Amino acid sequence: MDSRTLKVELQSYGLRIPDSKNIRRGGAGPTGGIHLRILPDTDANVPVVGDFVKSSPYHLDKINGEDWIFRDEVALVQVELMGNGRFYDHKTSSGIPMQKIGLLHCPTTFATTLLQTCDFWNDERRCQFCGIELTLKDRSTVGFKNAKALVETIQLAKELDGISNIVFTSGVAPDEEKALEKYAEICSEVKEHTGLPIQLQIVPPEDLGWLERLKSSGVDALGVHIETFDPEIFEKITPGKAMIGLDRYIETWREGVRIFGRWAVSTYILVGLGERLETVIDGAEICAEIGVYPFIVPFRPIAGTPMENVKPPKAEVMEYVYSEAAKILSRYDGGSKSGVAGCVSCGECSVLPDFEMLHESKTVKLKKFIKSIPVN
Ligand code: SF4
């Protein structure tokens, strides 16, 4: 089995591991996973917690002290697991453990949720899959991270762990203007003291003038996440975002691309929320036409959310979606290789970048073949 197919299968079915008690189970982004380097040279974040993982054909075990992935008891490939960040052992000058300020989502990306609450989360606007406030309840993070603590933590993560980029996400703030002011201040401080590329993830702001201000505050890339292009699922699963409306997302993406550049703006598209598959492909086309990277990922259930018992989509579904999206991206000559910071530059929660590479190499081979055919 090639590593691309293995990654798709692992993200759909999960990996059983001997001990999952220290795995992050809430917060932003696909949680409940671990980072793996599949030797020799490819990386993935794969789910290891949740009921669906118990029936996975894949498990992790040791052979002569080395970590290997097994399928149905047959050893497939050796892997390396990402250890804890070295900065996790330290505290900020005000005594907060740095692990509560941010985490490594992969060896190169420092990630944190600036505002760990969401105005949508406690009423009917809540996204049904989202676990943003769960990590506040279990006290594994703090509600709002200030610039000083972030600068200290990121500087140390850069020094000790060699991170190369940052992703800041956030819930929806009750006072958007105030929150954006704060984000701009944080990004500016972090950029000044670390120089690292920053991706900021936000909902479409009321005033699009904010995008220019964020850019001049040191933000390099923007994540504005629609999650689904299926109108019914938009209303049912992400009602707060549906109130903002697709048109507003599109306006924000267009303005974002004008300011940050093509492929520096991205959006998550989740597969497995109950959507019609053609809406995922059509959505990828809409994004690519604008110059927005469609970060397609399989839905991953989080315990404690209304969708905790929904399984991720089957691997065959993801294979199909990835290969169609890769074809679309190649027509627009863009994609994950242009990602400067955050989820797109890490890319491990999705296998789309691997399908883009596959498509690219097939096209190159085909072009060479065509050139080698005598015309007469
Ligand atoms: S907007 Fe939706 S996904 Fe984002 S933090 Fe709020 S509830 Fe979660």
Mean pLDDT value of segment 231-235? 98
Confidence (pLDDT) at 20? 67
The token duo for 337 is: 């290789």
- Identify the residue with better confidence: 97 or 364: 97
Task: Set out the domains of the chain in order of their start, with CATH numbers.
Answer: 3-81 (no CATH), 86-367 (3.20.20.70)
Query: Cα separation of 125 and 239, whole Å?
Result: 5
Average pLDDT rounded to a whole number, residues 317-332: 95
Nearest to 329 by CA among 262, 239, 234, 257: 262
Q: What pLDDT was estimated at residue 132?
A: 87
Q: Convert the chain into a string of H (helix), E (strand) and C (coil).
A: CCHHHHHHHHHHHCCECCCCCCCCCCECCCCCEEEEEECCCEEEEEECCCHHHHCCCEEEEEECCEEEEEECCEEEEEEEECCCCHHHHCECCCCCEHHHCCEEEECCEEEEEEECCCCCCCCCCCCCCCECCHHHHCCCCCCECCHHHHHHHHHHHHHHHCCCEEEEEECCCCCHHHHHHHHHHHHHHHHHHHCCCEEEECCCCCCCCHHHHHHHCCCCEEECCCECCCHHHHHHHCHHHHHHCHHHHHHHHHHHHHHHCCCCEEEEEEECCCCCHHHHHHHHHHHHHHCEEEEEEECCCCCCCCCCCCCCCCHHHHHHHHHHHHHHHHHCCCCHHHCCCCHHHHCCCCCHHHHHHHHHHHHHHHHHHHHHCCCC
Is the confidence at residue 37, as pLDDT, over 70? yes
Query: Is the C-beta atom of 240 inside 6 A of ligand 1?
Result: yes
Flag the least confident range among 138-147, 290-299, 364-373.
Answer: 364-373
242 lines ligand 1 (CB under 6 A): no
Q: What distance in Å separates the CA atoms of residue 3 and residue 373, rounded to the nearest whole number? A: 32
Q: What is the pLDDT of residue 10?
A: 97
Distance between Cα 202 and ligand 1 center (Å): 10
**pLDDT value at 29 more than 60:** no
pLDDT greater than 70 at residue 134: yes
Q: Measured from the CB, is residue 202 less than 6 Å from ligand 1?
A: no
Mutate to test the pocket of ligand 1, among 112, 113, 118, 202 (most ligand atoms within 8 A of CB): 118
Q: How big is the chain by its Cα radius of gyration, in Å?
A: 20
| Residue nearest atom 5 of ligand 1, based on CA coordinates | 171
* Residue among 119, 120, 268 whose CB has most ligand 1 atoms within 8 A, to mutate: 120
pLDDT number for residue 47? 94
Cβ(127) – ligand 1 distance below 6 Å: yes
pLDDT at 153: 97
**What are 176-222's pLDDT values in tens digits?**
999 999 999 999 999 999 999 999 999 999 999 999 999 999 999 99
Burial of residue 18, with CB atoms counted within 10 A of its CB: 0-12 exposed, 13-18 middle, 19 or more buried: exposed
Residue with the larger pLDDT of the pair 219 and 345: 219
Entry pTM: 0.91
Q: Is 226 in the pocket of ligand 1 (CB under 6 A)?
A: no
Mean pLDDT value across residues 144-149: 89
Q: How far is the centre of ligand 1, averaged over its atoms, from the C-alpha of 361 (Å)?
A: 37
* CA 68 / ligand 1 centre spacing (Å): 36
- Report whether pLDDT(25) > 80: no
Banded model confidence at residue 341, pLDDT cuts 50, 70, 90: confident
Nearest atom of ligand 1 to the alpha carbon of 131: 8
